Amino acid sequence: CSSDLISLSQETPIVVTYETIGQEVVKDSDFVILSDNPLVIPAGSSEASVRIKIIDNDVVQPEDRNIYLRFRSIDQSHVKVAVPKEVVIAIKEDDCAANVSNVNVWIGSLTFQSEGTTSTGTGSENSAGICSGTFNVKGKFVGSENPESTLTIRLTQNLEISTKGSASITRTKLFSFTSQYEVEATGVYDELTKKITLNYSIFDLNNTTNNFSSTMVITTN
């Protein structure tokens, strides 16, 4: 983190000492300090950086984890600190359980291919979070001439091959602006090839003769 540590720049260097205290985190295991301590603010400047690197250890830790950065002393008593003497740095959990599919593979730009037509869309994290095994896709799901849809895909990991598994869309509205059409899908995914294959069905609730089924392949761009 970097900010104005003192209220005004000084004509001489300022030496600041600080300490870090971890809540549910351990220094050099969960994080490392990359900056010197004491920290020197050069003459003519009012800021300096305390650089902290978070270590990604692939261990799921759902509890609140914080680093408390406390300023202990300044070598010139007349200098006032311009920030709180304690800064809290929250560490966000981004590690998922080993049996959760890696939906991050499909976060970003996507290509939809179905019955000779190709369109583009996006994959994004939904409110359930990346560790839910679900993510949202937005695009023209049933052909480039139809409106866009936003649908939730659930990935369920294979018990024997962790990079593969089943994919599904629970029956839901196809378009947000009407309840006439619904969609559901089942299929498979492969994290290594970055491909999801879905066998989907479209239902017209007003005219069942318009119902149809097809296959879609979703890949990353």
* Contact assessment for residue 52 and residue 1, using Cβ atoms and an 8 Å cutoff: yes
pLDDT confidence of residue 70: 86
Q: Which two tokens stand for residue 221?
A: 């761009």
Question: Which two structure tokens, joined as six digits, stand for 97?
Answer: 């359980």
What is the pLDDT at residue 84? 62
Q: Please say whether the beta carbons of 91 and 57 come within 8 A.
A: no
Q: What does the pLDDT read at residue 4?
A: 42
So what's the pLDDT on residue 5?
Answer: 52
Give residue 97's pLDDT: 79
pLDDT at 3: 45
CB 182 within 8 A of CB 206: no
Which pLDDT belongs to residue 83? Answer: 59
> Which residues of the chain have a pLDDT value below 70?
1-10, 56-64, 78-84, 92-95
Ordered by start, the domain boundaries in the chain are 2-90, 103-220
Say if CB 70 and CB 64 are below 8 A apart. Answer: no
Check residue 1 and give its pLDDT: 47
For 103-220, CATH number out of 3.30.1050.10, 2.30.140.10, 1.10.10.10, 2.40.128.30 equals: 2.40.128.30
pLDDT in tens, 108-163: 999 999 988 899 999 999 999 888 999 999 999 887 788 999 999 999 999 999 99
pLDDT at 89: 82
Distances in Å between the Cα of 205 and the Cα atoms of 152, 196, 201 are: 21, 27, 13
Quick check: 49 and 70 in contact, CB under 8 A?
no
Predicted confidence at residue 85, as pLDDT, reads: 73
